[in-house]
Chain A
Amino acid sequence: MPNVRLAARYAKSLFDLAVEKGELEKVYDDMKLIHAVCKVSKDFVTLLHSPIIPVDKKEKILGAIFKERVSPLTGQFTRLLVRKGREINFPEITTAFIEHYKEYKGIQTLTITTAFPVSADVKEGIINKVQAKIKAKELEVEEKVNPDIIGGFRLELKDYLIDATIQSILNKAKAELQNNDFVFRLR
């Protein structure tokens, strides 16, 4: 199970330090980079999780991967994580950091899922409508394409969801048709 509480603690300490040192944007970029690496490379996550690879080796590997690409503060943080044996939680910590950053800046993330890539003006229309409702300081839009939903769209914002996909409508119709006593009355 992802350790949400632990991730929040580490993320917050890094965040506060970054704010203090005035390197928030830099660290945020680093975290986005590491988050993306964790998402793309399964091998990297496996490496973090592996109990066979010794701590000093992990430290060296992480150093080699990120040294050129991240700020010194992030480098130090990475070493701290490895020494504390929390490198396993690195992906969650980056997620928690990004969330914390967005909250700090008042950025809200809207996820739009569609079956096919949508045209810019449709997207614009959706974004404008959502923005008119929630009035976020800044609205970040994430697009996803998932052919399984057949048609329609799905909007996700924090804990809220609007599901207007053909898939969900079909599921609802299926449940409605299964839940009946007509068949029994006819028998």
Chain B
Amino acid sequence: MVDIKPDEISAILRQQLTNFNAAAELEEVGTVLQVGDGIARIYGLNNVGSGELVEFENGVKAIALNLEEDNVGVVLMGETGELQEGSKVRRTGQIASINVGEGMLGRVVNMLGEPIDGKGPLSGKLYEMPIERKAPGVIFREPVREPLQTGIKAIDAMIPIGRGQRELIIGDRQTGKTAIAIDTIINQKEFFKAGKPVYCIYVATGQKASTIASVMKTLQDNGAMEYTVIVAASASDPAPLQFYAPFAGAAIGEYFRDTGRPALIIYDDLSKQAVAYREVCLLLRRPPGREAYPGDVFYLHSRLLERAAKIIGDDAVAKNMNDLPESIRHLVKGGGSLTALPMIETQAGDVSAYIPTNVISITDGQIFLESNLFNSGIRPAINVGISVSRVGGNAQIKSMKKVAGTLKLDQALYREMEAFSKFGGDLDAATKVVLDKGARNVEILKQAQYSPYSVDKQVAIIYLGTQGLVRNVPVRRMKEFEEHFLMEMENKLPEVMAEFKKGNLPEDGLKRMVDLANSIIPQYK
């Protein structure tokens, strides 16, 4: 610690003690009947409300979930250690909420909004946001129309995601679900640098603490932490913290959304959240349903994902939004958005299990990742055939929409013919063209981790692929060619790239690009 003058310390103490209120107030209390497994049953607390925060003598907070005839079931947000039968529980009169502010960016917080990265308390002004909040109503929303660039060619071209959309990432373990999310966060750096940041929130629920640490390290190394908040509830945290973490993340996202800014939230992953919720509900003796999940597990996910929204651009309308917390009422602006990328881990590719089908039906599309594609070297291992985006098409920029329009169909045709061609024999010319083009497109859509492509680059290379202009490049050298070509494009035709980015496809620009490509192709034989 550096030298501190004594008067500084006394000034601090004085400041702290001025906030201190020693007056005794009338409190409503109850008595603990039973504690254990992270839940407690309380006798008394007759006026407590559902979802209300209560506090134990040792400062541990809890949320009242079950209001029964003769007792109140609460879930503890901390350790049960010192609690015992007969200790007092106090009502707080507040619903569970989290303090949110700009100071959270670059930090790792837990579900209660407390920083857990050892960098000290959050700085700057914080606003209280309720953890459970109703989603904005119909009149406060707008259709999705702006793109959210993930920087992944396969997604931006074929399964585009718009701001305010909810796109599920689903797949077995070890298929690169988290990698897609991380790449998407890293890709937002471009917008951060341009002064139009998309704030990112990464919610880790029930993940290994080592995974969370490595995600943080990756984001730091790529300079992406500056506009990112990590909400962490690792596997060792109490189950209530785990299933409330996505809600806390959503509250942080809503702060950015309601103050007129775009935000992206990643729930990694909702199957573990459902498991934590199941645990708590079984301990509270709520009746189990299918796969022992409680009856309201669908509502658990639907109310969470419904909070992702594109808010209407009109400030006057947005200011009247339903269920706005008082703390941010004066800051509300229209035009914000919250895009959600929930994740679901399937077991052996079984998407017809309970939770996957629920979340598939709630979201606006899904990205399927498959382990056999992953193992055959197609990474990201997206199964293009069954991945869809129901609303993202409207959000694609014009140039991309034009260029990639046929890509999905081409690839579907390719896969069909590829299976057919494996029988051998002579193929007619048309089939051969499809196969050649498809194989090269597959190469184009492959992409290394942590290397997002900006949209202009994507447009340029996908144009070559879909137009069949790279048929003379051997498949195994496609990657090399792509890198070379994009570098040349950046150096020699930056003005064309700028046009692509704006959403235009100028005739002469395309011609110059094709000429450039043709001049490079002979080097790859």
A180-B16 contact, Cβ under 8 Å, with A4-B70, A159-B29, A160-B29: yes
A175-B121 contact, Cβ under 8 Å, with A1-B34, A160-B26: no
Query: By the criterion CB–CB under 8 Å, are B28 and A160 in contact?
Result: yes
Query: In the complex, A97→B25 CA distance in Å?
Result: 31
Chain A nearest CB: distance from B20 CB in Å?
A: 5
Q: Is B22 an interface position by the 8 A CB rule? A: yes
Please give, as numbers and ranges, the residues of chain B lying within 8 Å of A173 by CB-CB distance. Answer: 17, 20, 22
Question: Could you say which of A8, A163, A184 contacts B70, with CB atoms under 8 Å apart?
Answer: A8
Query: By the criterion CB–CB under 8 Å, are B26 and A162 in contact?
Result: yes
Query: By the criterion CB–CB under 8 Å, are A186 and B26 in contact?
Result: no
Query: By the criterion CB–CB under 8 Å, are B45 and A184 in contact?
Result: no
Name A108-165 residues within 8 Å CB distance of B: 156, 159-164
Q: Is A22 an interface position by the 8 A CB rule? A: no
User: Nearest residue in B to A168 (C-beta to C-beta)?
Assistant: B24
Chain A nearest CB: distance from B124 CB in Å?
A: 10
Query: By the criterion CB–CB under 8 Å, are A176 and B16 in contact?
Result: yes
Question: Could you say which of A5, A159, A160, A186 contacts B8, with CB atoms under 8 Å apart?
Answer: A186
A181-B120 contact, Cβ under 8 Å, with A159-B28, A161-B27, A161-B28: yes
Q: Is B87 an interface position by the 8 A CB rule? A: no
Please give, as numbers and ranges, the residues of chain A lying within 8 Å of B26 by CB-CB distance. Answer: 160-162
Query: In the complex, A169→B71 CA distance in Å?
Result: 29
Please give, as numbers and ranges, the residues of chain B lying within 8 Å of A184 by CB-CB distance. Answer: 120-121
User: Nearest residue in B to A177 (C-beta to C-beta)?
Assistant: B16
Please give, as numbers and ranges, the residues of chain B lying within 8 Å of A42 by CB-CB distance. Answer: none
Q: Is B41 an interface position by the 8 A CB rule? A: yes
Query: By the criterion CB–CB under 8 Å, are B70 and A161 in contact?
Result: no
Query: By the criterion CB–CB under 8 Å, are B70 and A159 in contact?
Result: no
Query: By the criterion CB–CB under 8 Å, are A163 and B27 in contact?
Result: yes
Chain B nearest CB: distance from A186 CB in Å?
A: 6
Please give, as numbers and ranges, the residues of chain A lying within 8 Å of B12 by CB-CB distance. Answer: 180, 182
Query: In the complex, A168→B122 CA distance in Å?
Result: 27
User: Nearest residue in A to B41 (C-beta to C-beta)?
Assistant: A1
A5-B69 contact, Cβ under 8 Å, with A161-B88, A177-B16, A181-B123: yes
Query: By the criterion CB–CB under 8 Å, are B70 and A5 in contact?
Result: yes
Query: In the complex, A160→B29 CA distance in Å?
Result: 6
Query: By the criterion CB–CB under 8 Å, are A186 and B4 in contact?
Result: yes
Chain B nearest CB: distance from A12 CB in Å?
A: 13
Chain A nearest CB: distance from B165 CB in Å?
A: 37
Question: Considering only CB atoms and an 8 Å cut-off, how many residues of chain A contact the other chain?
Answer: 26
Question: Could you say which of B4, B21, B24, B122 contacts A163, with CB atoms under 8 Å apart?
Answer: B24
Q: Is A57 an interface position by the 8 A CB rule? A: no
Query: By the criterion CB–CB under 8 Å, are A159 and B24 in contact?
Result: no
Q: Is A187 an interface position by the 8 A CB rule? A: yes
Query: By the criterion CB–CB under 8 Å, are B20 and A172 in contact?
Result: yes
Please give, as numbers and ranges, the residues of chain B lying within 8 Å of A164 by CB-CB distance. Answer: 24
Query: By the criterion CB–CB under 8 Å, are A4 and B28 in contact?
Result: no
Chain B nearest CB: distance from A143 CB in Å?
A: 18
Query: By the criterion CB–CB under 8 Å, are B20 and A176 in contact?
Result: yes
Query: In the complex, A180→B44 CA distance in Å?
Result: 33
Query: In the complex, A8→B43 CA distance in Å?
Result: 13
Q: Is B430 an interface position by the 8 A CB rule? A: no
Q: Is A2 an interface position by the 8 A CB rule? A: yes
User: Nearest residue in B to A159 (C-beta to C-beta)?
Assistant: B44
Contact with A along B193-214 (1 / 0, CB 8 A): 0000000000000000000000
Please give, as numbers and ranges, the residues of chain B lying within 8 Å of A182 by CB-CB distance. Answer: 12, 15-16
Q: Is B59 an interface position by the 8 A CB rule? A: yes
Query: By the criterion CB–CB under 8 Å, are B69 and A160 in contact?
Result: no
Query: By the criterion CB–CB under 8 Å, are B22 and A4 in contact?
Result: no
Name A70-129 residues within 8 Å CB distance of B: none
Contact with B along A30-66 (1 / 0, CB 8 A): 0000000000000000000000000000000000000
Q: Is B438 an interface position by the 8 A CB rule? A: no
Chain B nearest CB: distance from A49 CB in Å?
A: 15
User: Nearest residue in B to A173 (C-beta to C-beta)?
Assistant: B20
Chain A nearest CB: distance from B89 CB in Å?
A: 10
Query: By the criterion CB–CB under 8 Å, are B2 and A186 in contact?
Result: yes
Please give, as numbers and ranges, the residues of chain A lying within 8 Å of B387 by CB-CB distance. Answer: none
Please give, as numbers and ranges, the residues of chain A lying within 8 Å of B88 by CB-CB distance. Answer: 161
Query: In the complex, A160→B47 CA distance in Å?
Result: 11
Q: Which of A5, A182, A183, A184 has the most chain B CB atoms inside 10 A of its CB?
A: A182
Please give, as numbers and ranges, the residues of chain B lying within 8 Å of A180 by CB-CB distance. Answer: 12, 16, 121
Question: Could you say which of B21, B33, B122 contacts A4, with CB atoms under 8 Å apart?
Answer: B33
Contact with A along B70-81 (1 / 0, CB 8 A): 110000000000
Chain A nearest CB: distance from B516 CB in Å?
A: 54
Query: By the criterion CB–CB under 8 Å, are B46 and A159 in contact?
Result: yes
Q: Is B30 an interface position by the 8 A CB rule? A: yes
Query: By the criterion CB–CB under 8 Å, are B34 and A159 in contact?
Result: no
Contact with A along B115-139 (1 / 0, CB 8 A): 0000011110000000000000000
Query: By the criterion CB–CB under 8 Å, are B59 and A175 in contact?
Result: yes
Contact with A along B295-314 (1 / 0, CB 8 A): 00000000000000000000
Question: Could you say which of A2, A176, A181, A183 contacts B33, with CB atoms under 8 Å apart?
Answer: A2
Q: Is B519 an interface position by the 8 A CB rule? A: no
Please give, as numbers and ranges, the residues of chain A lying within 8 Å of B2 by CB-CB distance. Answer: 186-187
Name A1-20 residues within 8 Å CB distance of B: 1-2, 4-5, 8
Chain A nearest CB: distance from B239 CB in Å?
A: 20
Query: In the complex, A172→B16 CA distance in Å?
Result: 12
Please give, as numbers and ranges, the residues of chain B lying within 8 Å of A1 by CB-CB distance. Answer: 33-34, 41
Contact with A along B456-472 (1 / 0, CB 8 A): 00000000000000000
Please give, as numbers and ranges, the residues of chain A lying within 8 Å of B15 by CB-CB distance. Answer: 182
17 A-B residue pairs with Cβ-Cβ distance under 8 Å, sorted by A, are A2-B33, A4-B70, A5-B69, A156-B29, A159-B28, A159-B44, A159-B45, A160-B27, A161-B29, A162-B24, A164-B24, A172-B21, A173-B17, A180-B16, A181-B120, A184-B120, A184-B121
Interface residues of A, Cβ cutoff 8 Å to B: 1-2, 4-5, 8, 156, 159-164, 168-169, 172-173, 175-177, 180-184, 186-187
Given contacts A159-B46, A162-B27, A183-B120, 12 further A-B contacts (CB under 8 A): A2-B43, A159-B29, A159-B45, A161-B26, A163-B24, A172-B20, A176-B20, A177-B16, A180-B12, A186-B2, A186-B4, A187-B2
Q: Which 7 A-B pairs have the closest CB atoms?
A: A184-B120, A181-B121, A164-B24, A1-B34, A4-B70, A161-B29, A161-B27
Interface residues of B, Cβ cutoff 8 Å to A: 1-2, 4, 8, 12-13, 15-17, 19-22, 24-30, 33-34, 41, 43-47, 59, 69-71, 88, 90, 120-123
